[in-house]
Amino acid sequence: MTNGNIQLLSETLAKAKAENRAALIAYLPAGFPTVDGGIAAIKAVFDGGADVVEVGLPHSDPVLDGPVIQTADDIALRGGVKIADVMRTVKEAHEATGKPVLVMTYWNPIDRYGVERFTEELAAAGGAGCILPDLPVQESALWREHADKHGLATVFVVAPSSKDARLATITAAGSGFVYAASLMGVTGTRESVGEQAADLVRRTRATSGLPVCVGLGVSNATQAKEVAAFADGVIVGSAFVQRILDADGDEAAGLAAVRELAGELAAGVRRVS
């Protein structure tokens, strides 16, 4: 049985903490702009300074994702992306860099594919775990059993609306880290990430020793620095996707743009106030 890389993920987050900084976690969908192009983009983001990458499993009805990521998902789905391509993306990105790679996916595709098969293949690909934004904790026992068996993290999403008792239930069931959604609503770039996120991180930390990483709305070095002041990790997705969309089919330009953005954000999470 192959073991996944939850240990590598934990060590990576602990190392960032030891360096007195937040970890930079980047998100890119598999199959965007193509499967090979997506793998190259992840390598470029790692090259630019990301510590961890989340690979999105494109979904036709993504409830959490804003218009930018939906556009990328549409491109990937029209290109015929399959779960096998997601696994190949994880495998090649991890093998090329030695860095932790997670999958972010809605529950429906895993349910259809089979939990045992999905966790087994993700571990075999060297994956570190899964972020599951729409899987209710109370319905997650089967998933967690197989994830634990294969050495994979189960990352749940908490929101500003989550009550303290609910936060405790979620963090007790999760592993790897906790994904704190900085605001109510969908992903995308925002003017400010603000107070709600800091309060959510504080409340989540009160329930758990897991690292708390903040996503939704961070798009530049200034915001990364703002979030890094109170979170263990800063998650950026739409801004990377937008750079590739802006390159308009010029792969080299897209790769250069995401590498550069990763560099700026990596500097942002390291600027200690």
Nearest to 185 by CA among 29, 72, 74, 67: 67
Residue 232 a catalytic site member: no
Distance, C-alpha 88 to centroid of its chain: 17
Our answer to whether residue 54 is catalytic in this structure is yes
Helix (H, G, I), strand (E, B) or coil at 66: coil
What separation in angstroms does the CA of 138 have from each of 32, 63, 174?
33, 20, 12
Structural element, H or E, at residue 256: helix 251-270
Sign for the CA dihedral angle at 206, 208, 211, 216 comes to negative
User: φ, ψ for residue 150 (rounded to 5)?
Assistant: -100, 10
- Token digits for 50? 């990301």
Distances (CA, A) of 57 to 65, 71, 108, 136: 12, 13, 11, 18
Cα dist from 217 to 122, 183, 241, whole Å: 28, 8, 13
Catalytic residue, chosen from 54, 85, 92, 120, is 54
Q: Which of the following is catalytic: 11, 47, 61, 65?
A: 65
Q: Which residues are catalytic?
A: 54, 65
